[in-house]
Amino acid sequence: MDTHTRSEHLAELLAAGWRVQPQTSSSLTSSSSPSSGAISTPEELAASEELAVDLPVRTLSKLVQTITDIAAIAKAEKHHPDRLVWEHSRLHVAVHTHTAMPPYTTSALDTTSGKNTEGTGATRPGLTLRDARFAVLVHNAFTERYIPPKPKHDAAVSKDQGSA
C-alpha cells in the first residue's frame, strides 16, 4: 500500500487505535528455501506489515460475541484475520494479505538459464485495501455493539438551564 493510499484509507483507523506494525507471524520466516517466498532478510521483514488493534474484551461472553462478529465479517468478505489472541482482557486482532506485493527480485536475469525471471517468484505479504476494509468493518461492529454513543450536548437546553 503506497503512502497516499495509506494516509487516505488508514487515517480514521489509526485515530481509533489501530496501528500498522511489522508482522509477527511465524509464517514469515518458516522456510529457508529462497524460492518458497518466505521472508529471509531484515529488509523484507520490515516491509511486511499488518494492521492490528487490541480491543477491550473483559468477559468470556463478550469475547465469544466479538469473535462471532469477526467470523461473520471474515465469511462475508472472504478475508480472515491472521491472529485473534485474548490476553489480559484484550482481544488482539491482526490482519494482512498473504499475497499483497510482487516478489523481491535481486535480478531480472537468471544467471544460470539466462532467462528473464522478473515477477516469477512467490508474492510477499503486506497491506492492501482489503485489509483496511476488513479492519473498518471489525472496528464498526465492535463500536456499535460495545461502545456507547457519546451524548450530544444540546446548546438550547444549556441556555435554558443557565437562565433559571
In the chain, what are the domain boundaries?
Answer: 3-24+40-149
pTM of the shown model: 0.67
What the block records as the C-alpha cell of 139 is 472496528
Mean pLDDT for the stretch of residues 82-100: 88
pLDDT value at residue 157: 55
Helical residues (DSSP H) of 78-154, grouped into ranges: 129-146
The vertex-100 CA angle with 21 and 1, nearest 5°, equals: 60
Mean pLDDT for the stretch of residues 108-132: 66
CATH of span 3-24+40-149: 3.30.1360.20
pLDDT classification of 153: cutoffs 50, 70, 90: confident
Indicate if the alpha-carbon torsion angle 64, 65, 68, 73 is positive or negative: negative
Residue 84 has pLDDT above 60, yes or no: yes
